[in-house]
Amino acid sequence: MREAVARAVSERCRATHTPCDSHALEDALLVASELTTNAILHGGGVTDFQVDVSGLGVRLSVSDRSDRLPVAVPPTDRQGRRRPGGHGWPIVCRLSCDIRVSDLPAGGKCITAVVPLV
């Protein structure tokens, strides 16, 4: 999936004769990784993945089998102990300029995040 994102962004840069911002590409790759990891760990697996570069951003859509909405968990439990993990969704939210979660007709959900390329 990371390869698909890198390829789509590179092709867009070549087609528009614009330089690729390596930091923006890294952000898009990180968001793609976090969305797919979350679908695997919490959503019953990835059922679809789409990448589209349009305008000034890259649109990443990851579908999974779960109807549960993503949530940010507190970094510590009630006793104040640090919890492992829990960083993926906040990373997606921080690096994306638009996020949409939609229910799928056959069940599950699709999360679409737009990461700016400039």
Residue 65 pLDDT more than 80? yes
Q: Are 48 and 59 in contact (CB under 8 A)?
A: no
- Strand 98-103 and strand 109-116: pairing? antiparallel
81: helix, strand or coil? coil
Reading the block at residue 33, the tokens are 């990784």
The count of domains in the chain is: 1
In the predicted model, what is the mean pLDDT of residues 37-63? Answer: 94
pLDDT at 40: 95
Mean per-residue pLDDT, 60-70? 95
Give the chain's mean pLDDT. 92
The pLDDT value recorded for residue 75 is 75
What are the angstrom distances between the C-alpha of 112 and each of 8, 14, 73, 76, 78? 16, 25, 20, 28, 32
User: For tokens 């305008």, what's the residue?
Assistant: 55
Residue 114: the pLDDT is 97
Q: What is the pLDDT of residues 82-117, one digit of tens each?
A: 777 778 999 999 999 999 999 999 999 999 999 999
Domain encompassing residue 5: 1-76+85-116
CA atoms within 13 A on the CB side of 65: 6
Reported confidence tier of residue 18, pLDDT bands at 50, 70, 90: confident
Q: What is the pLDDT of residue 72?
A: 78
**What does the angle CA 99 – CA 104 – CA 110 come to, to the nearest 5 degrees?**
30
Q: How far is CA 75 from CA 53, 81, 94, 113, in A?
A: 33, 8, 16, 23
| Tokens linked to 93 | 């939210």
CATH of the domain at 93: 3.30.565.10
pTM: 0.89
